[in-house]
Amino acid sequence: MDLDSPFLFGGIKLKFIIKHEIKGRLRIHMVQNTMSFEEADILTYYVLRLNNVTGVKVYERTGDAAIEYVGDREEVIGALKCFCYEDVEMPEGIAETSGRALNAEYTEKLVNKVLFRMGGKLFVPYSIRAVYTAFKALKYIGKGLQSLRRAKLEVSVLDAVAVGVSVIRRDMNTASSVMFLLGIGELLEEWTHKKSVGDLARSMSLKVGRVWLRQEGQEILVPASQIQPGDEVVVRMGNVIPFDGSIVSGEAMVNQASLTGESLPVRKEADGYVYAGTVVEEGEVVIAVKAVSGATRFEKIVKMIEDSEKLKSTAESKAEHLADKLVPYTLFGTAGVWLATRNVTKALAVLMVDFSCALKLAMPIAVLSAIREAGFYHMTVKGGKYLEAVDEASTIVFDKTGTLTKARPTVKEVVTFGNNTEDEMLRIAACMEEHFPHSMAKAVVKEAQDRGLEHEEMHSKVDYIVAHGISTSIEGKKVIIGSAHFVFEDEKCEIREEFQSRYKELRTDCSHLYLAVNGVLEAVICIEDPLREEAPAVITSLKRAGFTKVVMMTGDSERTAAAVAGQVGVDEYYSEVLPEDKARFIEEEKKSGCKVIMIGDGINDSPALSAADVGIAISDGAEIAREIADITISADDLYEIVTLKILSQSLMKRIHSNYRKIVGINAALILLGVGGVIQPTTSAFLHNASTLGISLSSMRNLIS
């Protein structure tokens, strides 16, 4: 409802007026003289953190904010009453990468360009404008000549010919109009591209919760926001490096693909330098933090997006190649029209319309916008190549634990096989498991926390054996925890004779973690890992969406795997598989001509995620899985995979539609120009307007 008498709230903290209100949405006006970019970012950050707020847009020019919320309106009003800019501690990097300064910069450039053009025509004599136009034309002619010197026929050659011919004919008004429209087009293209890249980079920016801080020989788990330059943090196998810094001690193989595109990990030793967002694949290092700001990470992601060819889809690359190939045809067409009609105006009408601008701008914009839209559904996509592959994929492979089953399994029982208590065994297990996050490990750590079991770092160095378990030493005793295969077959541990019957009576409806000390089983932690409620419906939806083979692969027993496979309705399942088995299956599928998607959440899924055409990681799984994966989805809802497939299919439909629009509109403009219906300046205007229109249309959401 519109409020005839706006309400005024606040006192010392803040004054604001409710300008407009409907259920679930408020539009407020901040009562202050001006609002800076930083203040707008602070208000956005503050409001978005409110529990019942689902979205907010802050307009710094007008001092308004549109707030969308669910639940109690008074909670939002109450929070706004308490708001004060100075009281909000906003993480570093948010203001620098918000995009507000970019939008203001290009808005100002655009307005100044238009005002300069209008002012010149109104107040500057024609003779002076003619000299200025001739001087300005040198820039476009120079770019065209440079392209020819490189033996390339590019768009700059078309621009140079159009401007040069107009100047030679002394038609300075046409030359000036063409350069003005070209300048506007370049400005809008640059602005649109940078905004799309910025939106994508923000969605990919590093988000680190807690880190291990080393102080006085002890390791303390603390919020990442507490870390300051000079602090020392410990990063172990499978974890992301949270900050830029130098290695104090330790040695590790670091995956830097997110920053450099390198496919192989790089060895890092003492005195080496590491970067935020890279991942420790093997080993362990202690890092002296140099920079905690998120801005440097953001800048690196932007550079990666702009520079990395691997992120471009085939459709984007095809558009770029096609755009360059069309330039000679445009030149030949211009020459042909002139030879046939001897009419320079008609020839220029052809020259003013080239297909390459729209092709080179609209296609990347469509892809970047689709990636941005995926972020709305809590999915992070690292490049258009992967959306295209999702559209083409026919085989999809699921890991079981933490993927088809609940992302947050729970401990149901701790069974002891000695004199130690349940709590003591759980305390030791949590102390080991907390260093290597996985859904099963998190269940153990959470149960210890729920029971109030605090612990100090009682163990020596912790070794993680992928897909098997963890080994360490406590008070001189070797302690291991992991799978039955690891504990009984690899480590040859035994069960005391008097506990054989207890072992045989273990729950069969749970997954088991086995804890042994000095070669003897001391406890089994029974973890309930129930199937996701939506899993069967998701599998059915994926088949309807175009997948011809849905596979489940797990390290669990045949009995457990068969039961889960039967419930969810997969086409094939494989039990008791190792990481290399998953990767081998995917390679065989690819050799048969199938595009393959792999979905997993653990360190043991990393080889398969790398091998697949598209690797999809669950957001609260192991950090190395998220870093290696091409796409990350939230842990809350498997339907996001169906959404991803629909989004990919819609993107490819939009790209094909863009091709048809670009060819149709520009062909029509050429015909109108050759027919003498429109002038060259009108052709240029309509061409740029259509290019901008198609680009803006490509930024619309694919899923309404």
Res. 570: pLDDT tops 90: yes
pLDDT, tens digit (0-9, with 9 covering 90-100), for 166-216 = 888 788 887 887 788 778 777 876 776 677 667 656 655 555 567 888 887
Res. 11: pLDDT tops 60: no
187 and 326 in one domain?
yes
d(CA 120, CA 626): 55
703 part of a folded domain: no
User: Looking at 90, 117, 152, which one is the last position of a domain?
Assistant: 90
Q: Which helix (H) or strand (E) holds 447?
A: helix 439-450
Residues 6 or more apart whose Cβ sits within 8 Å of residue 272: 246, 247
Q: Which of 104-113, 179-188, 292-301, 512-521 has the lowest mean pLDDT?
A: 292-301
Model confidence at 10, in pLDDT bands (50, 70, 90)? very low
Segment 356-373 shows an average pLDDT of: 76
65 part of a folded domain: yes
Segment 532-556 shows an average pLDDT of: 91
> Which of the two residues, 165 and 66, has the higher pLDDT score?
66
654 and 603 in one domain?
no
pLDDT, tens digit (0-9, with 9 covering 90-100), for 402-454 = 788 876 788 999 999 988 899 999 999 988 887 766 677 888 988 998 898 87
339 and 272 in one domain?
no
108 and 73 in one domain?
no
Model confidence at 309, in pLDDT bands (50, 70, 90)? very low
Residues 6 or more apart whose Cβ sits within 8 Å of residue 653: none
Res. 292: pLDDT tops 80: no
pLDDT, tens digit (0-9, with 9 covering 90-100), for 340-362 = 888 777 777 777 776 666 776 77
305 part of a folded domain: no
* Full residue range of the structural domain in which residue 457 is found: 410-528
70 and 31 in one domain?
yes
Choose among 185, 167, 188, 184: nearest CA to 176: 167
CATH code at position 517: 3.40.1110.10
315 and 440 in one domain?
no
503 part of a folded domain: yes
Q: How many CA atoms lie within 13 A of 345 on its CB side?
A: 11
Please give the tally of structural domains in the chain: 5
286 and 160 in one domain?
no
User: Looking at 58, 90, 122, which one is the last position of a domain?
Assistant: 90
116 and 26 in one domain?
no
pLDDT of residue 307: 53
Strand bridging mode 511-517 / 477-482 = antiparallel
CB-based burial, 229-260: b 16+ in 10 Å, e otherwise? eebbbbbbbbbbbbbbbebeebebebbbbbbe
Q: How many helices and strands (H and E) does the chain possess? A: 23, 25
pTM recorded for the entire structure: 0.65
Res. 520: pLDDT tops 90: yes
18 part of a folded domain: yes
168 and 274 in one domain?
no
Res. 28: pLDDT tops 80: yes
d(CA 381, CA 384): 8
628 and 536 in one domain?
yes
DSSP line for 209-239: -EEEEEETTEEEEEEGGG--TT-EEEEETT-
In which residue are the tokens 């799978």 written? 483
Token pair listed for 317: 């690359």
Choose among 219, 222, 271, 223: nearest CA to 245: 271
CB-based burial, 555-577: b 16+ in 10 Å, e otherwise? bbeeebbeebbeebebeebbbeb
pLDDT of residue 1: 39
pLDDT of residue 495: 92
User: Looking at 269, 295, 321, which one is the last position of a domain?
Assistant: 295
630 part of a folded domain: yes
Beta strands in 31-154 (DSSP E): 53-59, 64-69
DSSP character for 403? I
CATH code at position 18: 3.30.70.100
Model confidence at 467, in pLDDT bands (50, 70, 90)? low
2 part of a folded domain: no
301 part of a folded domain: no
